[in-house]
């Protein structure tokens, strides 16, 4: 009996001990600050650093990833073709990689071979799901190429340089784009609205998809109840696959809820490739429609592999994390409230199939919420709950590698790539970010340099 | 007994201190060899190879002009040979797809697969008199090596239409334009200096280590492209129509030249000239690793000889164990480069 008591006592102590340990949080300071993507971090810091698969996938998943990788860089051709047919008949580019250069951002031009900009279009009002209202004869996106008749339209850009001088005399120049729709194949509807957007990097998406909705909503403050001038609003968007309204996480206005819909929509709208999610050609009902009975043009498994590829690209590790100037810059980043929207640390939820994405402390530098960014950046085109002034906070992870991934002098920032440097990108901030921008402008030169050095380490 | 211990301790101390002395001297040595390896990478390999590319593309252009002017079987064969000779250089250059070739999309501009035959037909109908600059802004699948390959192999020369002749002329000239621009991007465009000046403020490479790791990673990338994509796709699907150079049946040579190009890059060797290289850097601290890497390259390249008398299109059906062996050899090489060369570069190159 005595023995039994002792045993029980020991068991209780041990289990209490275990519970205590479970409840304890591992202090954040003990994490390696290099690991922007937690276990889904890659240590590549070259041009391929956005295209590295997460490690630990295992043979089967690694195979699916590699199939998706090949599809991502595959050029599609016009139908009928022995392989990879179905391009168009209206489209913006011929492969995923022709816009997402090295899985990153591409070139802010329209209609060229290596152009990475696309143009969304709609007319005032909303559709039955609360989304933007399609422009009759054009849909929700202008396809500026066609292999079967006329492109829907061409879009031209002209930039006006706006000089800027810091209080300490340093100068910068902001190029303000004006977009003009030309050569529409039929008359454009009155009051049409356009939004020009640059292809964003595709790494780390699986982590962002796994952030619990409650975590994202806990940062939202749509009515600015805490009076800090920064609201943060969740977008709720229609998912054509689940046929439900869901929290928007992807796209520059958070107008897409899942990677699956994002990828399928890019296939259909950007390349003209139909799939089980979007089985109808984007040209349906228009003069460019091919009437071919070949949809969906990619098999379910090919779409799924491409989705899996996009879900499992690792996040590049930070460099120079212990550099004293970088650490100073990080302090300033928080002091001037950049981190109010560009949230530094978030924990992902659980996915037992992919432990490297699951329950990870990550540093995406986004809250995935919509913020009013001021009139200068506004596109004036609402997208579900996002107003014409609102944009989703862009993740900043990897921003220091844009030049590596896209080439020297070919790093572009913001939703349409108008900014040629990080400084220009900051100077374009307005609306809820106006106060932070003003503080940036009034920093000493050395503090600005420190902040930029910190950003370059991401 | 005590004396013995003292003696052993003394030897151990001497041993350790001499080790650390060696380390210091080899670190200095590595720094110097790294500097030279970056210079030689540009002067012995990169720029001469791209210059050769222009020479071969010029010969291809001349051959196509001659074929179009006089469409005989002999002129077609000469143009085919010029095409194959140009491919050798291009595929070897893929052993280091870094810098402008990657940043400025030369690869998709010149080497996109498959060929979009429907769109080519409609383009020729609409633009029968096109020239090379017209091709700058057409989709990737309508220009470069493979459409030209299609016309050089799949058509009888006497059947070429005028539009097809114009198109072939434009294709060859467009390839030549691309090779000239690519060469210039290293010389006058300054990419060569970017590499040579790695670690200085004038270069985008933050350190010599950064530049050398980039070169080392490009070896892995081409192994991955050949061993995980270009070869296994048709092989696993058992579908020869997925092969990349389907008209000339040149794929075996393409693959082999890719790996040869990576080996050239590893040992900085081109056209009989050899410079300081990653191989020399590895030898300083780990001769056995250098031997292993060289052996893995040699094994991968020589494994192609099993396909000397066949085409890849046939081999995926008839020589499956030989193809599987090549894929395995490339995978072994790639794993070795990933698991041992990269950590070596990161560990020992300190500036």
Along chain A (458 residues), what's the average pLDDT of each consecutive run of 10 residues? 60 53 58 92 93 96 95 96 95 96 93 94 97 98 95 98 97 98 97 97 98 97 90 97 98 98 98 98 96 96 98 97 96 97 96 96 98 97 98 98 90 97 98 97 98 97
Contact A47 B138 (CB under 8 A): no
Q: Are strands A315-316 and A41-42 parallel, antiparallel or unpaired?
A: parallel
For the cut 60, the answer to whether the pLDDT of residue B21 exceeds it is no
Check if B202 contacts A (Cβ < 8 Å).
Answer: no
The whole-angstrom distance between B15's CA and the closest CA on chain A is 34
The whole-angstrom distance between A376's CA and the closest CA on chain B is 30
For the cut 50, the answer to whether the pLDDT of residue B281 exceeds it is yes
Mean pLDDT over the full length of chain B: 92
Structure tokens at B148: 């030209």
- For position A31, what pLDDT does the model report? 73
Contact A77 B119 (CB under 8 A): yes
- For position B28, what pLDDT does the model report? 58
Q: Please name the member of B104, B112, B213 whose beta carbon is closest to the beta carbon of A46.
A: B213
Check if B122 contacts A (Cβ < 8 Å).
Answer: yes
Contact A48 B221 (CB under 8 A): yes
Asked whether the beta carbons of A176 and A289 are under 8 A apart, the reply is no
DSSP summary character for residue B150: H
Give A 390-409 residues with CB within 8 A of chain B.
Answer: 403-404, 406-408
The whole-angstrom distance between A251's CA and the closest CA on chain B is 25
pLDDT tens per residue across span B43-68:
999 999 999 999 999 999 999 999 99
Residue environment code for A335-346, b if the CB has 16+ CB neighbours within 10 A, otherwise e: ebbbbbbbbbeb
Check if A66 contacts B (Cβ < 8 Å).
Answer: yes
Check if B225 contacts A (Cβ < 8 Å).
Answer: no
Q: Which of A116, A101, A196, A120 is nearest to A158 (CA)?
A: A196
The whole-angstrom distance between A290's CA and the closest CA on chain B is 13
Structure tokens at B160: 């070429």
pLDDT tens per residue across span B192-232:
999 999 999 989 899 999 999 999 999 999 999 999 999 99
- Which one is predicted more confidently, A25 or B106? B106
- For position A3, what pLDDT does the model report? 62
Using a CB-CB cut-off of 8 Å, the residues of chain A touching B102 are 47, 102, 407
- For position A5, what pLDDT does the model report? 60
pLDDT tens per residue across span A386-426:
999 999 999 999 999 999 999 888 999 999 999 999 999 99
For the cut 70, the answer to whether the pLDDT of residue B141 exceeds it is yes
The whole-angstrom distance between B224's CA and the closest CA on chain A is 10
For the cut 70, the answer to whether the pLDDT of residue B4 exceeds it is no
Closest chain B CA to residue A79? B118
pLDDT tens per residue across span B227-271:
999 999 999 999 999 998 999 999 999 999 999 999 999 999 999
Asked whether the beta carbons of A343 and A361 are under 8 A apart, the reply is no
- For position A30, what pLDDT does the model report? 65
- Domains in chain B, CATH or no CATH each: 33-348 (1.20.1420.20)
- For position B14, what pLDDT does the model report? 44
Using a CB-CB cut-off of 8 Å, the residues of chain A touching B227 are none
- For position A10, what pLDDT does the model report? 62
- For position B20, what pLDDT does the model report? 43
Check if B108 contacts A (Cβ < 8 Å).
Answer: yes
């Amino acid at each position: 009996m005595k023995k039994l008591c002792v045993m029980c006592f020991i068991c209780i102590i041990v289990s209490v001990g275990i519970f205590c340990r479970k409840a304890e949080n591992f202090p954040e300071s003990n994490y390696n600050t290099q690991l922007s993507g937690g276990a889904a971090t890659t240590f590549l810091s070259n041009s391929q650093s956005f295209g590295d698969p997460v490690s630990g996938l295992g043979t089967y998943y690694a195979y699916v990833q590699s199939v998706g990788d090949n599809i991502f860089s595959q050029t599609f051709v016009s139908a009928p073709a022995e392989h990879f047919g179905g391009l168009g008949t209206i489209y913006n580019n011929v492969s995923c990689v022709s816009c997402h250069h090295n899985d990153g951002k591409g070139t802010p031009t329209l209609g060229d071979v290596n152009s990475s900009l696309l143009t969304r279009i709609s007319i005032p009002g909303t559709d039955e799901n609360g989304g933007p209202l399609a422009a009759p004869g054009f849909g929700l996106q202008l396809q500026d190429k066609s292999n079967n008749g006329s492109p829907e339209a061409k879009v031209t850009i002209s930039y006006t340089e706006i000089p800027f001088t810091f209080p300490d005399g340093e100068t910068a120049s902001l190029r303000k784009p004006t977009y003009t729709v030309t050569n529409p194949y039929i008359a454009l509807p009155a009051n049409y609205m356009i939004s020009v957007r640059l292809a964003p990097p595709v790494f780390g998406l699986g982590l962002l998809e796994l952030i619990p909705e409650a975590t994202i909503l806990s940062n939202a403050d749509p009515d600015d109840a805490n009076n800090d001038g920064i609201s943060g609003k969740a977008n709720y968007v229609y998912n054509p696959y689940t046929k439900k309204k869901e929290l928007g996480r992807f796209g520059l206005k958070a107008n897409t809820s899942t990677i699956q819909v994002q990828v399928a929509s890019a296939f259909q709208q950007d390349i003209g490739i139909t799939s089980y999610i979007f089985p109808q050609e984007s040209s349906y009902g228009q003069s460019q429609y091919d009437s071919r009975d070949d949809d969906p043009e990619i098999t379910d498994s090919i779409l799924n592999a491409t989705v899996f590829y996009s879900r499992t690209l690792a996040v590049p590790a930070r460099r120079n994390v212990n550099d004293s100037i970088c650490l100073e810059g990080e302090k300033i980043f928080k002091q001037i409230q950049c981190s109010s929207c560009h949230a530094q640390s978030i924990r992902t939820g659980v996915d037992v199939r992919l432990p490297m994405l699951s329950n990870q402390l990550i540093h995406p530098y986004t809250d995935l919420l919509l913020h009013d960014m001021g009139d200068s950046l506004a596109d004036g085109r609402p997208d579900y709950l996002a107003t014409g002034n609102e944009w989703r906070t862009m993740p900043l992870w990897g921003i220091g590698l844009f030049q590596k991934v896209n080439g020297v002098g070919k790093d572009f920032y913001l939703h349409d790539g108008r900014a040629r440097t990080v400084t220009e990108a900051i100077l374009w901030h307005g609306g809820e970010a106006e106060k932070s921008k003003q503080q940036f402008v009034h920093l000493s030169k050395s503090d600005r340099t420190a902040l930029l050095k910190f950003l370059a380490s991401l | 007994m005590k004396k013995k211990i003292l003696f052993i301790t003394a030897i151990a101390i001497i041993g350790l201190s001499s080790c650390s002395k060696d380390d210091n001297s080899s670190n200095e040595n590595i720094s110097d060899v790294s500097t030279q390896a970056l210079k030689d990478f540009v002067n012995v390999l990169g720029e001469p190879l791209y210059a050769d590319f222009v020479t071969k593309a010029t010969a291809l252009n001349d051959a196509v002009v001659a074929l179009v002017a006089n469409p005989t079987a002999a002129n077609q064969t000469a143009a085919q040979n010029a095409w194959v000779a140009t491919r050798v250089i291009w595929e070897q250059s893929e052993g280091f797809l870094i810098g402008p070739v990657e940043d400025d999309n030369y690869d998709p501009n010149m080497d996109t697969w498959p060929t979009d035959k429907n769109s080519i037909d409609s383009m020729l109908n609409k633009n029968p008199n096109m020239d090379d600059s017209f091709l700058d802004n057409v989709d990737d699948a309508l220009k470069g090596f493979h459409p030209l390959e299609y016309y050089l192999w799949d058509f009888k020369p006497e059947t070429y239409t005028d539009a097809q002749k114009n198109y072939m002329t434009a294709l060859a000239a467009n390839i030549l334009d691309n090779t000239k621009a690519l060469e210039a991007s290293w010389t006058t465009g300054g990419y060569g200096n970017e590499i040579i000046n790695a670690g200085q403020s004038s270069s985008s490479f933050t350190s010599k280590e950064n530049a050398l790791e980039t070169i080392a990673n490009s070896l892995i990338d081409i192994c991955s492209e050949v061993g995980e994509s270009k070869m296994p796709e048709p092989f696993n699907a058992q579908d020869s129509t997925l092969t990349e150079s389907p008209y000339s049946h040149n794929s075996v040579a393409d693959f082999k030249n890719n790996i040869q190009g990576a080996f050239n890059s590893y040992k900085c060797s081109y056209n009989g000239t050899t410079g300081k290289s990653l191989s020399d850097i590895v030898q300083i601290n780990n001769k056995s690793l250098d031997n292993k890497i060289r052996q893995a390259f040699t094994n991968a390249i020589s494994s192609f000889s099993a396909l000397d008398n066949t085409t890849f299109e046939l081999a995926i059906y008839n020589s499956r164990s030989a193809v599987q062996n090549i894929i395995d050899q490339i995978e072994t090489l790639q794993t070795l480069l990933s698991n041992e060369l990269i950590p070596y570069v990161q560990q020992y190159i300190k500036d």
